[in-house]
Amino acid sequence: MDSIVVTGGSELTGQIPIAGAKNACLALMPATLLTEEPLTLMNAPRLSDIKTMTLLLQSLGSEVQSLADERVIAMSSLGPLSTTADYDIVRKMRASNLVLGPLLAREGEAVVSLPGGCAIGARPMDIHITALEALGAEIELRDGYLHAKAPGGLKGARVPFRFASVGATENTLMAATLAKGTTVIENAAREPEIIDLAACLSKMGAQIEGAGTSTIEVQGVDRLGGATHSVVTDRIELGTYMLAPAICGGDIECLGGRLDLVTAFAEKLDAAGISVEETEAGLRVARKNGRVTAIDVSTQPFPGFPTDLQAQMMALMCTADGVSHLEETIFENRFMHAPELLRMGADIEVHGGTATVTGVERLKGAPVMATDLRASVSLILAGLAAEGDTVVNRVYHLDRGYEHVEEKLGAVGAKIERVPVE
């Protein structure tokens, strides 16, 4: 498994292109299962999670082709389709559960492995299940698989969510497009990836109102057609690269960046003393003088501060002036980067869902272990600010969510290289 070696201390200047959103693309790809016509996604990110979703869809009988240097995904699901999503693929990536809603809507049945927990928490699927049951599905758990059936087809219903789950909103939205009658999702997730999915489904002929708000109304249709859709910018990759000049000084323009995708996050950067400016091509982030100011953060569903940027923000706070409190409210076990940052000389105490970070003048390079996707990149960011070399081991997590991080950061002046390990 490869390692990434970062030598800290360089200021960063230049432009970083931001890719299409992994999390949007992973929800858009299963939408192919809703139609016999071709669905083409442009601006796709080149990531191993996208390859995993490709394999899953192929295993179900879809044709999936990667074109234009993997920037375009051309899909077609003429059928017949298999309705079983195997544990071997689902366990690798939780987002595999997004085939449940579309398969059930199109085929009237689906057998999808329960993904199981992952490093950041238990991550149950009760909200997905309750929602699909409200649409008339019968769902049983047998042998680790969810067996879902809707012999007479799905029927529109009022679906109140106990929590605004992103994945459950996506599954329910896709299922509802082909249900009979009207579905109203209450307390729906409002993430930009939901808006992107709804936009694509609408191009396919779905009748959806309210995506991006807490109440989404879907009028079911008999069939959906094909479409071509460009994937929205990855706000988490954007936020991550906005933190790079914040952490080690410099001036970076994130190409394709949009302030409306990262408003809460940009407000925190501003409070920490980092300037964020909209440009014609994206967002420009600069740190001009001195240490950043410690700030407090609490993760929240969109439009709040994203949990997927908490680890990276912690890396910034490690060298801030003062004490910051980072509260994690979405996942129960999302501070695994903290012990690794301690190895680099950070001062962090974790009590329950809150990490208290007392900024130090300088971090020191060390060998560290990447435990999950966002934790891995936080260690790279910390390495950019540290004295000496930081070796981030087990970077396969990183390749799930960041395209060639070493090339993007290397191009703006970071000393960073990938070292293949046998």
| The one segment of 50-58, 163-171, 178-186, 340-348 that binds ligand UD1 by CB under 6 A | 163-171
Does residue 248 have an active-site annotation?
Answer: no
Q: Among 95, 114, 366, 375, indicate the residue that binds ligand UD1 (CB under 6 A).
A: 95
Cβ burial, residue 70 (10 Å; 0-12/13-18/19+): middle
Our finding on whether 331 is near ligand UD1 (CB under 6 A) is yes
Distance, CA of 315 to CA of 326 (rounded, Å): 11
Closer Cβ to ligand UD1, 122 or 419, answer by number: 122
Closer Cβ to ligand UD1, 6 or 139, answer by number: 139
User: How many Cβ atoms are within 10 Å of 109's Cβ, its own excluded?
Assistant: 16
Closer Cβ to ligand UD1, 98 or 366, answer by number: 98
Closer Cβ to ligand UD1, 79 or 124, answer by number: 124
Distance, CA of 177 to CA of 324 (rounded, Å): 44
Q: Among 8, 52, 73, 94, indicate the residue that binds ligand UD1 (CB under 6 A).
A: 94
Our finding on whether 96 is near ligand UD1 (CB under 6 A) is no
What percent of the residues of the chain are helix, what percent strand, and what percent coil, each to the nearest 5?
Answer: 35, 30, 35
Whether residue 170 contacts residue 143, with contact meaning beta carbons closer than 8 Å, is answered with no
In angstroms, give the least distance from the CB of 331 to ligand UD1: 5
Whether residue 356 contacts residue 395, with contact meaning beta carbons closer than 8 Å, is answered with no
In angstroms, give the least distance from the CB of 216 to ligand UD1: 15
Whether residue 53 contacts residue 32, with contact meaning beta carbons closer than 8 Å, is answered with no
Our finding on whether 117 is near ligand UD1 (CB under 6 A) is no
Our finding on whether 262 is near ligand UD1 (CB under 6 A) is no
Our finding on whether 418 is near ligand UD1 (CB under 6 A) is no
CB-nearest residue to ligand UD1 = 167
Our finding on whether 126 is near ligand UD1 (CB under 6 A) is yes
Distance, CA of 16 to CA of 36 (rounded, Å): 38
Q: Judging by DSSP bridges, how do beta strands 389-393 and 367-369 pair with one another? A: parallel
Our finding on whether 23 is near ligand UD1 (CB under 6 A) is yes
Our finding on whether 53 is near ligand UD1 (CB under 6 A) is no
Our finding on whether 121 is near ligand UD1 (CB under 6 A) is yes
Distance, CA of 134 to CA of 201 (rounded, Å): 21
Our finding on whether 365 is near ligand UD1 (CB under 6 A) is no
Q: Among 16, 99, 128, 413, indicate the residue that binds ligand UD1 (CB under 6 A).
A: 128
SS3 382: helix
Closer Cβ to ligand UD1, 138 or 347, answer by number: 138
DSSP states of 96-144 as a string?
GGGGHHHHHHHHSEEEEE----BTTB----HHHHHHHHHTT-EEEEETT
| The one segment of 29-37, 123-131, 195-203, 272-280 that binds ligand UD1 by CB under 6 A | 123-131
Distance, CA of 101 to CA of 205 (rounded, Å): 17
Q: Report, as residue numbers or ranges, the catalytic residues.
A: 118
What residues make contact with ligand UD1 under the rule CB under 6 A? 23, 26, 94-95, 121-128, 163, 165-168, 193, 307-308, 330-331
